Amino acid sequence: MKRLAWVRTAPPEIPGSMAAYFDLVRRAVEPWSGGWEMTVCDLFDPCGGASMWKHHLWRWRNARRVLAEHPADLYHWLDGSMAAFIPPAMQCRSLVTVHDLIPLLQWRGELPGRPSFPARWLIRRSLRALRAAAALCTDSHATRLDLARLTGIGEGVTAIAVPVRPLPSPEDLSIPGLGPSDPFILHVGNNAAYKNRLGVLEVFSRLRDCAGLHLVLAGPPSLRQMRAAAARLERVHFAGPVDDAWLNGLYRRASLFLFPSLYEGYGMPVLEAMAAGCPVVCSTAAALAEVAGGAALSAPAPDPDALAAQCRALLSDEALRRRMIGLGKARAAAFDVASMGRSLMEWYEQALNALEKKETHA
C-alpha cells in the first residue's frame, strides 16, 4: 500500500482558500485513490487562533515531530507559502502546490507591499525547499510561468486546474439600503493591495449615471482609506465577511461580478460567479485571462475607464449579457472534479516512481 499524507497548514474552522482547496483535493482524489492510503497531517498550533506568527513559530518547533508521527511515502504540502517549514530531510519526499508568487513579487517591487525582514527570511527558505522538493504543481499555467521566471524552477512543474467548489443553496443577505430588486455590482476579496479594491471604487465612480446601480463589496472589514473613498460616492455597501450560502445568493442576484485584481495565482471567484450565472468583468492579469478563457469581459487593472466601459456594456446590452452568462456557465463546467482527481493521482504516481527509481540507483 502506497502512503500519502496531505499536510494541512490552515485550521479547518477558519474559512479561507486553503481550507476550500483541501476539501476539493480530498473529494477529487477519493474515487481514484485505489492502492493508496491517504492521511491528513495538521501542521498548525491548536491554540494559535488567527495569529499567523504563532502558527509559524509552532511549525518551526514541531514540524519534524508531527510529520514523523504520520509516516508516508510522499507528503503533499497543500500551501506552497509554507514550504519554509519542510524539514530538510523530508524535502525529497515532499510535493508542493504553489498557488501564487505574491510575496516574491512584492519583494521584487512588482506588486504593492514590502515584506518584512522575517517574511523575507521565510521566502528565502521557501525557495530553497521548493528547489529541493520531489515535485511541484501550480493551479494555473500562468503561475507555472511565473515560477520559472522568478525562481528558475521550470522543469517538472505540473499545472493542475482547480474545479469550482460546490456552494450551498443560496440565501439572501439583507444589506441595509439595498432593496430586493436593486441592481448591483459585486466584488469579493480581501484588503490586500493586489486585489485592487480601491480600483473597484474607481470603476464604480464612473458608472454613477447608471440609474439606481449599487456596489456591494464582500470580504473582511474595509480599511479606513476605502471607507473614505466610498463616502464620496453613493450606494456603496460593505457586506463584510459572508458565509458560502450568502455568497452564492450574492452571485445569483448581482448584475455583474467585478474582479480587477493586479495579480492572481488562479481566480476562483471568477469561476464561482460564472457557475452561478453572474456575468464577469475582470482584469487582464495572466491567470484571470487563463481561467476566464474568453467567457468574461476584461480590461487592464490600472485602467478604470476601460473596466467601467466593459461593465456598462453588460449593464446596457441584454443580448451581450445573456451570451456572456451562457459562456460563463459552460466555462465553469469545464473545470470538473474528476479531471483534478485524475491529474493529482498521476502527479502522485509519477513523483513516487521517480523517487523509487532514484533510491534504487543511489
Same domain, 309 and 355: no
Supply the pTM of this predicted model: 0.94
Q: Tell me which residue of 162, 129, 85, 79 sits closest to 341, measured CA to CA.
A: 162
31: three-class secondary structure by DSSP? helix
Mean pLDDT value across the chain: 94
Same domain, 156 and 12: yes
pLDDT digits (tens, 9 = 90+) for 307-322: 999 999 999 999 999 9
Under the banding of pLDDT at 50, 70 and 90, the label for residue 157 is very high
Indicate whether 135 belongs to any domain.
yes
Note the Cα 282 to chain centre separation in Å. 15
Same domain, 208 and 129: no
The number of C-alpha atoms within 13 Å of 233 and in the hemisphere containing its C-beta is 25
Same domain, 153 and 8: yes
d(CA 362, CA 85): 26
Question: Once rounded to an integer, what is the mean pLDDT over residues 24-49?
Answer: 93
Indicate whether 172 belongs to any domain.
no
> Does residue 15 register a pLDDT over 80?
no
Same domain, 75 and 107: yes
User: Is the distance from CB of 255 to CB of 182 less than 8 angstroms?
Assistant: no
What is the torsion angle, in degrees rounded to the nearest 10, for the CA atoms of residue 5, residue 81, residue 90 and residue 46? -60
Domain count, the chain: 2
Indicate whether 171 belongs to any domain.
no
For residue 12, what is the domain's CATH number?
3.40.50.2000
Indicate whether 100 belongs to any domain.
yes
Grid coordinates representing 17 are 482558500
Same domain, 19 and 109: yes
Give the end-to-end CA distance of the chain in Å, rounded to a whole number: 23
pLDDT digits (tens, 9 = 90+) for 212-245: 999 999 999 888 888 898 889 999 999 999 999 9
> Does residue 14 register a pLDDT over 80?
no
Same domain, 327 and 243: yes
Cross-strand partners of 282: 259, 298
> Does residue 361 register a pLDDT over 80?
no
Same domain, 329 and 344: no
Q: Which of 170-174, 186-190, 289-293 comes out lowest in average pLDDT?
A: 170-174
pLDDT digits (tens, 9 = 90+) for 65-85: 999 999 999 999 999 999 999
Indicate whether 227 belongs to any domain.
yes
d(CA 356, CA 362): 10
Percent of residues, the chain, with pLDDT higher than 90: 87
Find all residues with CB under 8 Å of 59, minimum gap 6, and list them: 9, 43, 44, 45, 82, 85
**Beta strand pairing call for 184-188 and 74-77:** unpaired
Find all residues with CB under 8 Å of 304, minimum gap 6, and list them: 199, 202, 203, 205, 206, 260
Question: Of residues 12 and 278, which shows the higher confidence score?
Answer: 278
pLDDT digits (tens, 9 = 90+) for 115-144: 999 999 999 999 999 999 999 999 999 999
Same domain, 266 and 352: no
Indicate whether 174 belongs to any domain.
no
Indicate whether 273 belongs to any domain.
yes
Same domain, 315 and 348: no
Grid coordinates representing 260 are 480587477
Same domain, 220 and 254: yes
285: three-class secondary structure by DSSP? coil
What residues make up the domain containing 142?
Answer: 2-163+336-360
pLDDT digits (tens, 9 = 90+) for 246-302: 999 999 999 999 999 999 999 999 999 999 999 999 999 999 999 999 999 999 999
Find all residues with CB under 8 Å of 193, minimum gap 6, and list them: 111, 112, 113, 262
- Specify the pLDDT at position 52: 86
Same domain, 36 and 142: yes
Indicate whether 115 belongs to any domain.
yes
Under the banding of pLDDT at 50, 70 and 90, the label for residue 362 is low
